[in-house]
Amino acid sequence: MAHYNRWQNQSLYGAADGLDATARQSDRGAFFGSIQATLSHILWGDSVWMSRFDNWESPEINIPNSVNFAPDWEAQKAARITADQRFLDWSIRVTSDDLDGDLTWYSGSLASDVTKSRSLCIVHMFNHQTHHRGQVHAMLTAAGAKPNDSDLFIMPDSV
């Protein structure tokens, strides 16, 4: 899934990079509004989850402000590339023991402590990415950009 994550991010960021700033930042009716804001939210979410799994720095902002996690387009693209490489590095180190047991954290959105199985949380993290990337894919297509297909089974073996 870490390889799929990078492949899809390369596709979406490449397609979004072909749009001008106004097109990337236009509110298109998605949950987080624009293409750029939704991509910022995904990067924020990845950072939050990976702070729990791999000691990444935890963002100090909440979900509503996640759209401003990486407001500068060039900086956001660079941060995405770095995060995707860190995902790959982490995925290589993960063992079956890392998937066992529970994870407990304070959820700002629920305003309480939450305990869930570690493996479920990892699946959720990748599902969260996929969910919001689907929104971005639709917004890019509506804007006239051409992101790659997103079906997992057509991911090139070279990825």
> Is 87 part of a structural domain of the chain?
yes
pTM of the prediction?
0.95
> What pLDDT digit, counting tens, does each position of 26-70 carry?
999 999 999 999 999 999 999 999 999 999 999 999 999 999 999
Q: Is 158 domain-assigned?
A: no
Contact 11, 148 (CB under 8 A): yes
Q: Is residue 29 part of a domain?
A: yes
Domain count, the chain: 1
Task: Tell me whether residue 74 is in a domain.
Answer: yes
Q: What is the pLDDT of residues 81-113, one digit of tens each?
A: 999 999 999 999 999 999 999 999 999 889 999
158 band by pLDDT with thresholds 50, 70 and 90: confident
CA dihedral 106, 108, 112, 118 (to 10 degrees): -40
User: What CATH number does residue 94 fall under?
Assistant: 1.20.120.450
